[in-house]
Amino acid sequence: MPIAPDATLADVGEFALISELVGLFPQGEQVLVGPGDDAAVLRVRSGHVVVSTDLMVEGRHFRRDWASAEDVGHRAAAQNLSDINAMGGRATSLTVGLGAPGDLPAAWAIDFARGFADECALVGASVVGGDLTRSSEIVVAVTVLGAVTEAPVLRSGARPGDVLALCGRQGWAAGGLAVLGRGFRSPRVLVEAYRRPAPPYDAGRLAAEAGATSMIDVSDGLLAEAGHLAADSAVAIDVHAAAFDVPEPLHAVGAAVNADPVSFILGGGDDHALLATFPDVAAVPDGWSVIGAVAEGEGVTVDGAAYDGPTGWTHF
C-alpha cells in the first residue's frame, strides 16, 4: 500500500514503515540474511573485521532546516564509512537505528533512508539491519563493519621524522556551517559540502598500501584530530599553515564573517578528509598534500607555535 504524502510515522506504523525502508536497501552478495530476522548473517572473507559506531542527534549534529532528509542520510552514512576509510579498510555492511517523534513525516524517514543507501552504494556497502523506535527528537545510530586487507592503520603509529599529509576537501563543511549559522545559503558550494560531504573513500586503503604509519578521519576538527595522532603516537606534530590552498569560497566566507579563512581549515570537521603520517614525502600517494611534520615531543603546533583559534569541538 503506498504511503500517503502527508502521512506521519504514527499514521504509517512501525511495521509498514520498516517494510518500506527495507525495500530501499539492496543487499550485497556478502549478505546471507538481510533485514527482518533477529540478526543479519554476513559472509566474512578476511579474518579481520573493523567496527565503528556513531550517534547523531537532531539539533546537535544536524538541523532539518539546514539539510534535507536525504542530505542527513548521506551525512550519517558518510561519517561512518569514513571511520572505516581511516583504518585503511573498506566498509561492507551497516546497521542503522532511527528514533523519531510520531509526528515526523514518514517521507522524511524514507528520504533519509534513500540518502543513506545512496551514500553506502558509493563504496558498495549494504544496510543489513536496523531498528525503529519513538523518541522525542530524531536520533540516528549507525554501526559500520568493514574489511581490511593490509594491517589496519592506527592512530598510534606516527614516528618522529614522518610527514603529515591530508587527503580530501578540508574546511568546506565548516565554511558551509558558518554560512548557514548566519542565515545565508551561499556560497552554495560550501553549503552543499556541509550537507553532503565527499570523503575520499579509496584513499584510506591506498594510504595503507603506501605505508601510512598513522591515520585518522577529520570529523571534529583538523587540529583536534592531529592532537589525537600526536597523543596516541607520543609525538609532536607541527602543521604548516602555508601548505593549504585556501579555496576561493572560503576566502569569501572569511571576508563576510571577518574570520581568517585558514581557521575553517584548521578548526573545521565534517568534511571527513583523511589525515595521515607517512615515513617520508616520497611515500605520500597522489591526491594527498603534505601539510606538516612529526617530531619528538608532544602536542600540536601551527608553524611552530600554539594555535589560538578554534580547534574542534567536544560533545559535553
237 binds a second copy (CB under 8 A): no
With CB under 8 A as the contact rule, the residue among 163, 165, 203, 216 that binds a second copy is 216
Q: Which of 97, 211, 279, 285 binds a second copy (CB under 8 A)?
A: 97
Q: Known binder of ligand: residue 245?
A: no
229 by Cβ neighbours in 10 Å (0-12 / 13-18 / 19+) ranks as buried
Among 23, 102, 181, 309, binds a second copy (CB under 8 A): 102
How far is residue 275's CA from residue 291's CA, in Å, rounded to a whole number? 9
Nearest to 161 by CA among 277, 303, 266: 277
Q: Shortest gap between Cβ of 24 and a second copy (angstroms)?
A: 17
Q: What phi and psi, each to the nearest 5 degrees, are found at residue 197?
A: -65, 155
Question: Please, which residues have CB within 8 angstroms of residue 202's CB and are 6 or more apart in sequence?
Answer: none
Task: Of 250, 226, 237, 101, give the one whose Cα is nearest residue 174.
Answer: 250
User: Cβ distance 233 to 214 under 8 Å?
Assistant: yes
Stretch that binds a second copy, among 79-87, 171-179, 262-270, 286-294 (CB under 8 A): 79-87
State which of residues 120, 125, 145, 235 lies at the interface with a second copy (CB under 8 A). 145
CB of 11 to a second copy, least distance (A): 9
Closer to a second copy by Cβ: residue 9 or 262: 9
Of 82-90, 183-191, 253-261, 284-292, the segment contacting a second copy by CB under 8 A is 82-90
286 is an annotated ligand-binding site residue: no
Please name the amino acid found at residue 47: G
Written as one letter, the residue type at 296 is E
Distance CA 83, CA 136 (A): 28
Q: Of the two residues 32 and 255, which places its CB atom closer to a second copy in the complex?
A: 32
Cβ nearer to a second copy, comparing 158 with 262: 158
Location of C-alpha cell 517494510: 19
313 assigned binding-site residue: yes
Among candidates 121, 15, 12, which has minimal Cα distance to 73?
121
Q: Is 53 annotated as a binding residue?
A: yes
Site for a second copy in 2-61 (CB under 8 A): 9-10, 12-15, 17, 32-33, 36-57, 59-61
Bridge partners of residue 236, in order along the sequence = 295, 299
**Is 217 among the annotated ligand-binding positions?**
yes
Q: Is 240 annotated as a binding residue?
A: no
The three cell numbers of residue 52 are 565503528
- Binding site for ATP, by residue number, is 130-131, 155, 219
- Binding site, by residue number, is 38, 52-54, 61, 83, 130-131, 155, 217, 219-220, 270, 313
